[in-house]
Structure 1
């Protein structure tokens, strides 16, 4: 059987290997593409990257377990390492430090960015997942860096991202950011005054453009003066406890949850508040409604009725009625759930 000569032709085979956690088979597919003359950058961006997105979507739809998702991600990381070992690129440009935001554990996307930068001649230092801001700044003080590229996959890390970028700027190192955590169009990076790249090639172009990289953007956060964000964060534990008690009253079946399902429920109640807080930080209700749309898909695929989520949003809305922005965002989430529940053609 002739090996596929394009990433598109090899995609289904590669995804099958990820599904089986078949490291050797997945590496073989990628290496065959290299041997067929496909540039390593295209293998990374047209095969590995979209397959990883597919892995995440399969987990969200409850088609794959957490264990399967972790195994597939590990295999993809090994594929990236194998490609790096077969594509030597002598550094001819300065050092770029690539890292995940503090608390951000999705390390494969920034690893792909790091590899693309390496292939384009940069000396790349990849610091991996969840790098504390103080440790990153300390590293920058010891090693001369042309720029820092920071990744954030989940919007709840936006407040930490803002503080981390400011810390890098104080160290006098240009910073660019990327990842889904900043919005599909980078809108939240713009609100926080950050240089944003939508993908690895765009990041490579940006770090090579001295004028663009040195451009100073200003954060627009005057809305934080109302203290809604700070107050919500301070009351998180109390709000989660109250929501759990309310949910047990409204949805009696939750009283019979075993420990694992109870822990998952408490985690979900906290995530709702975390995304609400992030929406307050950037003053954008679409951040919260996008999360609600995703969460209802995840929950219903696992047998949790959307009504339970609607009840929780209603509870939080009542408790937080003295927070106008938060209450408005919660109303937007409830409206989304209501429209999704309406019969087709109504």
Structure 2
């Protein structure tokens, strides 16, 4: 190994790379990544030790309201361009079977699974990356037409878990092993285990799992006996009604809401929908921590934008009244309401 290769480090280039993202300087960002490869740093390290942590910081800056949505989108687009540049520089010939990588239906965070796809490709797999929000029927149709060794599915938001479960089962009916990843399954994979599917915490672990077919197929049965009581189905059916009612309640109890601009009103409706969706997902997997952690995160996000925790508390109180006949939902709402009343901020996932 040359001295240059020993000294070059993604860690040393991180701050300069992040500055390139902040300045929306695509060319500087690409030069940084390719410069590391030219210095002998493996492409996998550039992907995982430079681009991945920088993208995490991009998301955190948006969450802290330090960056606008436009800045976050620009930085993400540049990161995607850098990944493409790295992929074009490192072009290994596939020596293994096909792996299909995709985001769950309704899931638009495509960069993390793209990194997984590139790591798999660097390790010799023939990879097909289908991108963001792939409908289950379309994915299954693709699997029927192409002989896949495995399919890797990504989910960044736990509220998508019910959709994820249906997608996982659809893939299995095609007799294709499934591995999942992403924050949507919990930082420790707890909800992947609840759904009875193989889980990988990061790209290298996903690659190792895909390479071990016995481990990939050796999964426990799903632990979803609670779905027999139809509480989740009933809650999901009332989604629109609950959002409309909560908005009307906010207008009545928080007069300032009546003066909201169209953009503010759209954002509020979106937040109300997320509350219902995360609550439904918590009921689906029977884990109140999913909903409580979301409420803590939402309070932190809104606080950074000048919205007090009491606003979330009002909505939770409304849902408590409306869902008294939903045992698990009512319990999770009560626990989350206590967090909102205490003004608890976001907790690390």
Q: What SS does the corresponding residue of 2:108 show, helix, strand or coil?
A: coil
Q: What is the CA–CA distance in structure 2 between the aligned matches of 1:293 and 1:47, rounded to whole Å?
A: 29
Q: Deviations over 1:120-171 (max 9, x none)?
A: 0000000001111111111111111100000000111111110111111110
1:219 to 212, 218, 222: 222
2:134 equivalent in structure 1 = 131
Question: In the alignment, is residue 54 of structure 1 matched against residue 57 of structure 2?
Answer: yes
Alpha-carbon shift at residue 341 of structure 1 (Å)? 5.9
Q: What is the CA–CA distance in structure 2 between the aligned matches of 1:193 and 1:220, rounded to whole Å?
A: 7
Q: What is the CA–CA distance in structure 1 between the aligned matches of 2:344 and 2:203, rounded to whole Å?
A: 38
Distance 1:252 1:110, change over 3 A: same
Alpha-carbon shift at residue 256 of structure 1 (Å)? 0.7
1:303 to 302, 306, 310: 306
Q: What is the CA–CA distance in structure 1 between the aligned matches of 2:213 and 2:228, rounded to whole Å?
A: 35
Q: What SS does the corresponding residue of 2:106 show, helix, strand or coil?
A: coil
The 10-residue stretch of structure 1 (119-128 or 207-216) with the greater mean CA deviation from structure 2? 207-216
Question: In the alignment, is residue 318 of structure 1 matched against residue 318 of structure 2?
Answer: no
1:195 equivalent in structure 2 = 198
1:269 equivalent in structure 2 = 272
Residues 34-183 of structure 1 mapped to structure 2, 5 A cutoff: 34-183=37-186
**Unaligned stretches of 5+ residues in structure 2:** none
Alpha-carbon shift at residue 217 of structure 1 (Å)? 2.2
Q: What is the CA–CA distance in structure 1 between the aligned matches of 2:241 and 2:145, rounded to whole Å?
A: 42
2:29 equivalent in structure 1 = 26
Give the RMSD, CA atoms, in angstroms: 1.4
Alpha-carbon shift at residue 216 of structure 1 (Å)? 3.4
Alpha-carbon shift at residue 179 of structure 1 (Å)? 0.4
Question: In the alignment, is residue 328 of structure 1 matched against residue 331 of structure 2?
Answer: yes
The 10-residue stretch of structure 1 (218-227 or 91-100) with the greater mean CA deviation from structure 2? 218-227
Alpha-carbon shift at residue 5 of structure 1 (Å)? 2.1
CA contact (8 A) 2:47 2:115 kept: yes
Alpha-carbon shift at residue 36 of structure 1 (Å)? 1.5
Alpha-carbon shift at residue 43 of structure 1 (Å)? 0.6
CA contact (8 A) 2:299 2:343 kept: no
**Unaligned stretches of 5+ residues in structure 1:** none
Q: What SS does the corresponding residue of 2:319 show, helix, strand or coil?
A: helix
CA contact (8 A) 2:296 2:344 kept: no
Alpha-carbon shift at residue 266 of structure 1 (Å)? 0.9
Number of corresponding residues: 341
1:14 to 12, 17, 20: 17
